[in-house]
Amino acid sequence: MTTLQDPVIAPDPTIQPATRRFGAGTGSRAVIGFGLAAVALFGLAPVVLGDFRLGLLAKYLCLAIVAVGIGLAWGRGGMLTLGQGVFFGLGGYAMAMHLKLTDAGPGQLPDFMQLYGQLDTLPWWWKPFASPAFALAATVLLPMLVALLLGLLIFRRRVRGAYFAILSQALCAALAIFLIGQQGTTGGTNGLTDIQGFFGYDLNDPLNRRTVYFVVAAALLAVLGIAWQLMRSRYGELLVAVRDGEERVRFLGYDPANVKLVAYVVAAGMAGLAGALFVPAVGIISPAMIGVVPSIEFVIGVAVGGRAGLVGPALGAIAVAWARTALSERLPSAWTYFEGLLFILPVVFLPGGLASLAVLLRRRTAKKEVAA
Amino acid sequence: MTGLTVRDLKVVFDGFVAVGGVDLDVPAGDVRFIIGPNGAGKTTLVDAITGLARATGTVTFDGQELLGRKVHRIARLGVGRTFQNSTVFEELTVLQNLDIAAGWHRGPLTLLRRRTSIPPRVQAALETIRLTAVRDQLAGTLPHGQKQWLEIGMLLVQDAKLFLLDEPVAGMSHEERDATGELLGELSRDHTVVVIEHDMDFLRRFARTVTVMHAGRILSEGTVAEVQADPRVQEVYLGHSVEA
């Protein structure tokens, strides 16, 4: 709390108005930013990177889409979503179920069901996923619906802080365990693997894999656009207010549960979309990709990049995923330690993440100018 | 406007009677100060009126029963409050704080768009609380006195008709106290103001009526002079150092 001695009355040049501070700035800056990102993703990366590296980048961009949602829910809304694997998984499995059914052909059972045996007909809950429209809508709407129901229970009961984080984590552990237990209908530990086609396009064809990359890149830009609008809107300001003073907001006539619910549901939709795109980009979805550990890894990327910003979470997710690949190629055993360090360092020394480095530097130069 | 009516209000925490049967009438347009020793139940009374503490009895404001409603529903009926420790949103600017306070009735479409201009009500409040010059500054960087004014401004734009202020001048300088007192006078033209306060000097200068609480009950009520002359009040304050 500031005391009476605090002499700040004139506008302080070192303090940015909140909208700029958080990196969701004015229209022209944003247009330039989106333009640069589009050039990098659509112009630069496909030229510079070979097919293999471009495929890896597509995977990283999927993680970045999850990160954008976490940035919204955690960075702006204060909800430490340690269980985004649930929504990532729902989206991923919805997509993979459709692709497995298409791979198998009309009237046929997916390969793993034939392998494990006991089933003669498709389980009833698989059937709607034969429709591409249903499956596509389900990848985003199913996670959002689940988040809505969960959120209503959680936020109305004022579960928050560590309890919310633990609850989210328990949910993704539960989903992973459930999937493993249903080997005959979900593929169990193996997951849904060996996906060959993507809406009629052969995923073994490098050209089609490049197309998948472009779809993922476009989705990332769209998701960033949604987050940008939400963050600069009045809702975005209200969300920050709820994060910093939930009780106070109540006394202003708002129900904070509803405010949080919107961000939570949007973040779940983004995670679902990411899971759905992850399937054609990587060719597999399995419980190991949606459980506790990957859910924590989603959050590490966001913490490293800076949770409260717009691009910080996405860049952090890409950087951490890239570092993971680079390090585990050279020193396979060292990655786990490095990853732990990556989470601890920003939390302890740089709570704003890498994005806040720029702000710190800008403030330092501004202070020097004032002093001079 | 009929003001605030409290009848037989009781608040009990785990067997401890914090407020034990309070009757209180604050007519519209009054500036009522509630004083009393620490633990007299002043803040708990405000907590009960605003839905934060569970209570029995009845509390009506402008004919509407408040007890049993949720905190945000009570706020929507025009009951606004501040806290002893200022609770502005420190990471947001003064303008953003006020704009949020003015907005509970906004629909989804307005919420999802950006604020393009300053709402007239917010502009007026900025001038009333004398913070126009610092409107783009983060609220967390304001000195304590200005934070308290921002709280009052948030009640103004929230369209509160009843202001419940918990120690608004604690920690303020003399000049800030005077300015706050004048502000309360301006507010009372079309609001009902209830102030919890320890500062007797401030009370003598700006209170219109005073209620004295002691041990969860109303001890005395009347004008400043009447209350000061009441022997029961003198007795309660004997041994308590009265800040002046």
**Residue A239: inside a domain, yes or no?**
yes
Average pLDDT for B229-235: 86
A24 to chain B, any CB pair closer than 8 A? The answer is: no
pLDDT digits (tens, 9 = 90+) for B11-20: 999 889 999 9
pLDDT digits (tens, 9 = 90+) for A318-332: 999 998 888 888 887
**Residue A359: inside a domain, yes or no?**
no
Q: What is the pLDDT of residue A222?
A: 97
Q: Does residue A372 register a pLDDT over 60?
A: no
Name chain B contacts of A3, Cβ cutoff 8 Å: 143-144
**Residue A106: inside a domain, yes or no?**
yes
Rounded CA separation A244/A160 (Å): 13
Which residue in B70, B101, B143 is closest to A6 by CB distance?
Answer: B143
A28 to chain B, any CB pair closer than 8 A? The answer is: no
B140 to chain A, any CB pair closer than 8 A? The answer is: yes
B84 to chain A, any CB pair closer than 8 A? The answer is: no
Q: What is the pLDDT of residue B241?
A: 47
Rounded CA separation A94/A329 (Å): 31
Q: Under an 8 A CB cutoff, do A11 and B137 touch?
A: yes
Which chain A residue's Cα is nearest to B99? Answer: A234
Which residue bears the tokens 């966001």? A302
Q: Which residue has the higher pLDDT, B92 or A338?
A: B92
Q: What is the pLDDT of residue B235?
A: 83
Q: What is the pLDDT of residue A38?
A: 92
Pick from B13, B77, B31, B25: nearest CA to B50: B77
Q: Which CATH class is domain B4-237?
A: alpha beta
- ipTM confidence score: 0.90
Q: What is the pLDDT of residue A371?
A: 59
Q: How many CB atoms lie within 10 A of CB A117?
A: 9
Task: Please state the domain extents for chain B.
Answer: 4-237
**Arithmetic mean of pLDDT over chain A:** 87
Mutation for testing the B interface, residue in A28, A228, A237 having most B CBs under 10 Å? A237
Q: Under an 8 A CB cutoff, do A2 and B147 touch?
A: yes
Which amino acid would we find at residue B20?
Answer: G
Which residue in A15, A234, A254 is closest to B113 by CB distance?
Answer: A234
Average pLDDT for B104-127: 92
The H-assigned helical ranges of B28-157 are 42-49, 71-76, 94-101, 108-112, 120-128, 144-157
Number of domain units in chain A: 1
B104 to chain A, any CB pair closer than 8 A? The answer is: yes
Rounded CA separation B223/B200 (Å): 13
**Residue A296: inside a domain, yes or no?**
no
B153 to chain A, any CB pair closer than 8 A? The answer is: no
Mutation for testing the A interface, residue in B43, B47, B71 having most A CBs under 10 Å? B71
B89 to chain A, any CB pair closer than 8 A? The answer is: yes
Q: What is the pLDDT of residue A23?
A: 42
Domain that holds residue A212: 28-291
**Residue A209: inside a domain, yes or no?**
yes
Q: Under an 8 A CB cutoff, do B104 and A253 touch?
A: yes
Q: What is the pLDDT of residue A22?
A: 42
pLDDT digits (tens, 9 = 90+) for A3-48: 333 333 333 333 344 444 444 456 788 889 899 999 999 999 999 9
Name chain B contacts of A1, Cβ cutoff 8 Å: 85-86, 144
Name the β-bridge partners of B11.
B19
Which residue in B92, B105, B133 is closest to A241 by CB distance?
Answer: B92
Q: Does residue A252 register a pLDDT over 90?
A: yes
Residues 138-157 of A with CB under 8 A from B: none
Read off the tokens for A112: 């793993």
Which residue bears the tokens 């992850």? A278
**Residue A315: inside a domain, yes or no?**
no
pLDDT digits (tens, 9 = 90+) for A126-159: 999 999 999 999 999 999 999 999 999 999 998 8
Q: Under an 8 A CB cutoff, do B134 and A9 touch?
A: yes
- State the Cα torsion A205-A208-A209-A213 to the nearest 10°: 170
H and E: helices and strands count for chain B: 10, 10
**H/E element holding A167?**
helix A161-181
Q: Under an 8 A CB cutoff, do A238 and B154 touch?
A: no
Size of interface A-B (CB pairs under 8 A): 121
Name chain A contacts of B50, Cβ cutoff 8 Å: 251
Read off the tokens for A371: 């002093």
Residue pair B141/A15 in contact by the 8 Å Cβ criterion: yes
**Residue A333: inside a domain, yes or no?**
no
**H/E element holding B56?**
strand B56-61
